[in-house]
C-alpha cells in the first residue's frame, strides 16, 4: 500500500510541476509575439506563395511552348 501511495504522490507532484513549467513557457512565448511580427510573418509567407505561383506558371508556359514546337515539326 505504501508503494502505491508513494508512486501516486510522485505522479501528482510531477503533474503539478509539469503543468507549472508548461504554463510558464507558454506565457513567455506569448509575451514575445507582437502584432508587427505576426504581420511580417504573414507578408513573408504571402510573398513566398506568390513567387511559387509565378514559378509554376513559368514552368507550365515553357512546357506548353515546347509542346507547340514539337507539334509544328
Same domain flag for 41 and 73 = yes
Cell numbers of 69, please? 514546337
Same domain flag for 23 and 49 = no
Answer yes or no: pTM beyond 0.85: no
Cell numbers of 56, please? 509554376
- Tell me the mean pLDDT per 10 residues along the chain, length 73: 95 97 94 89 97 94 70 57
Same domain flag for 7 and 42 = no
Same domain flag for 50 and 73 = yes
Same domain flag for 28 and 46 = no
Rounded CA-CA distance 65/28 in Å is 54
- Say which DSSP state 25 is in: H
Helices (H), the chain: 2-32, 35-72
Same domain flag for 40 and 72 = yes
Residue 64: its pLDDT value, please? 72
Task: Show the domain range for 63.
Answer: 34-73
Same domain flag for 25 and 38 = no
Rounded CA-CA distance 70/73 in Å is 6
Residue 9: its pLDDT value, please? 97
Please count the structural domains in the chain.
Answer: 2
Amino acid at each position: 500500500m505504501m508503494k502505491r501511495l508513494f508512486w501516486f504522490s510522485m505522479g501528482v507532484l510531477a503533474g503539478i510541476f509539469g503543468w507549472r513549467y508548461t504554463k510558464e513557457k507558454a506565457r513567455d512565448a506569448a509575451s514575445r509575439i507582437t502584432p508587427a511580427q505576426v504581420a511580417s510573418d504573414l507578408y513573408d509567407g504571402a510573398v513566398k506563395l506568390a513567387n511559387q505561383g509565378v514559378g509554376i506558371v513559368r514552368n507550365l508556359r515553357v512546357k506548353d511552348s515546347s509542346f507547340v514546337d514539337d507539334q509544328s515539326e
